[in-house]
Amino acid sequence: MSIVLRLAWRNLWRQPRRTWLTTGAMVFSNLLLVFMMSLQFGMYGLMIDNTLQVFTGHLQVQAPGYKDDQKMRQTVADVLPLADAIRAELGSDRVAARGWAFALASSEERSFGIGIYGVETVFEPQVSNIPGLVSDGRYLASNDAAEIVIGKVLARNLRVAVGDELTLLGSGVDGSFAAAVVNVVGIFDSGVKDIDRNIAEMPIATFQETFFLDGAGHQIAIVADNLDAVPEIQSRVRSVLPSDGDLLVLDWNELQPGLKQAIQADMGSNFFMYFVLVVLVAFSVLNTQLMSVLERTREFGIVMALGLKPGRLGRLVILETAMMGLMGTGLGIVAGGLLTLWFTGNGLSLPGMDEMAAQFNLPARMYPEVSALSLLAGPLVVFLFTMLAAVYPALRLRWQNPVEAMRAA
C-alpha cells in the first residue's frame, strides 16, 4: 500500500507548477465559499433576530384571520388573564399581550394617522426592543395611565415633546367613535424611519377603554430563548388556550413569511454562484488529471504489459487526485477560516451597505460567523466534485491496450 501512496505523491510533483495551479484553483474557491457562507449565515441569524425583536416575537396568539386582515374586531377575549396563564405555564416573563388600532393623533399644531399598540407596561420590554430605545423621557408606567410613547420622527412631525398632550381619534371595536387625550411621556428612536414615523404605544388598560375592547386584545407575543425551542413552546401554549375557542398560535415564520422567503431567495442566488465556482474547479481538475494521464500513456502501457491491472492504475490516478484535493481542501479551509476570523474581529462594511442593511434590519457593519457548517460545507462539495472529475481520466485507463499505449508518441 505504501508504495502506491509514494508513487502517487511523486507523480503529483513531477509537474509542480501544474499541481500548484490546480490546488490554487481549489484554495481560491474554498476561500470564497468559506467566507461567503460564514457571512451569509451570520447575516441570516441577525436578520431573523433583529426583525423579530422589534414587535413580532417568536410566537403570537391571535384570532383566526387577524394575521391577514388585522381587523379591529378579530380579538383575543380576556387577553390579560390569558397572558398570565401562558406566563405561568412557560415559567417565563417573555410573554406580553397587546392591542392594535389606527387613530388620528393630533397635537396643537399637527395631525397624523398612526398605528397604536396597547401594551402591558411591565412585560412589553421583555418581548420587544422598542421600550429599551426610549431616548427621551421614560417608558409607560402602569397599565391604566393616560400615557403614550411615540417615535422620534412622529414627535418631530407633530411638533411635540415629552410632557405635551395628544388627542387620539379613531373608531372602536364596534365601529363607534373613539377618542382619548394622552400625555407623551417618552420618545423612542429605533432608527427605522417607518417605525419612528408611524407607531406609538400606550398602556393596555387605557387602550382597551378607549377603543371599547372590554378586556380583549389582538395578540399575545411570546419570545423563546432560541429558534429551536419554538415548536415545543408552541404546543405548550396551545395547551393553555381555552378549549372552546378558535385561537391560533402562530410561529414567526407564519407571522413574517417574507423573512424566511427573503433568506431563501438570497440562498438560492448564492447557491447558484457557489455551484458555478465548484463546477469551474471541477473543470480545472479534469483538465489537469486528463493531461497527466495522457502524458503517461507509454509509461502506463509498460507497467500494464508487466502485469499491473488497469484497475490498480485507475486507483493510482484517483489517489493522486485525492491527495491534491486534500491539499486544496486543507489549505482552503485554513485560508478561508483565517480571512473570516479577521473579519469576525474587524467587521465588514461596504459603501452603500448601510442603506441596504437597514431595509433588512441589519447593522451597517457585518460580522461573519465561523461555524463547522460554513467552514466545511463548501470545501467538502469542492472535494466531492474534484473526485468526480477524476473518474473519466481514471476510467480511460481501462480501455487502454498495453501494446498500443507503449507505441504512443
Enumerate residues 68-97 that contact other proteins by CB under 8 A. Answer: 69-73
Least distance (Å) between residue 194 CB and other proteins: 11
> How many whole angstroms separate alpha carbon 342 and alpha carbon 323?
28
Q: Which range binds other proteins by CB under 8 A, 143-151, 257-265, 313-321, 372-380?
A: 257-265
Count interface residues toward other proteins (CB under 8 A).
Answer: 71
Least distance (Å) between residue 356 CB and other proteins: 6
Q: Which range binds other proteins by CB under 8 A, 89-97, 226-234, 251-259, 311-319?
A: 251-259
Q: Is residue 28 a contact point for other proteins (CB under 8 A)?
A: yes
Report the residue number, 85 or 267, with the smaller CB distance to other proteins: 267
Q: Is residue 365 a contact point for other proteins (CB under 8 A)?
A: no
Report the residue number, 95 or 382, with the smaller CB distance to other proteins: 382
Q: Is residue 298 a contact point for other proteins (CB under 8 A)?
A: no
Q: Is residue 228 a contact point for other proteins (CB under 8 A)?
A: no
Q: Can you give the length of the chain in residues?
A: 409
Least distance (Å) between residue 169 CB and other proteins: 7
Contact criterion met (CB below 8 Å) for 391 and 361: no
**Subset of residues 102 to 121 that bind other proteins, contact rule: CB under 8 A:** 102-104, 106-115
**Subset of residues 268 to 287 that bind other proteins, contact rule: CB under 8 A:** 268-269, 272-273, 276-277, 279-281, 283-284, 286-287
Least distance (Å) between residue 279 CB and other proteins: 6
**Subset of residues 128 to 187 that bind other proteins, contact rule: CB under 8 A:** 153, 156-157, 169-171, 175
> How many whole angstroms separate alpha carbon 147 and alpha carbon 166?
9
Which long-range CB contacts under 8 A does 304-310 form with residues at least 24 apart?
304/400, 304/402, 304/405, 305/402, 305/403, 305/406, 310/397, 310/398, 310/400
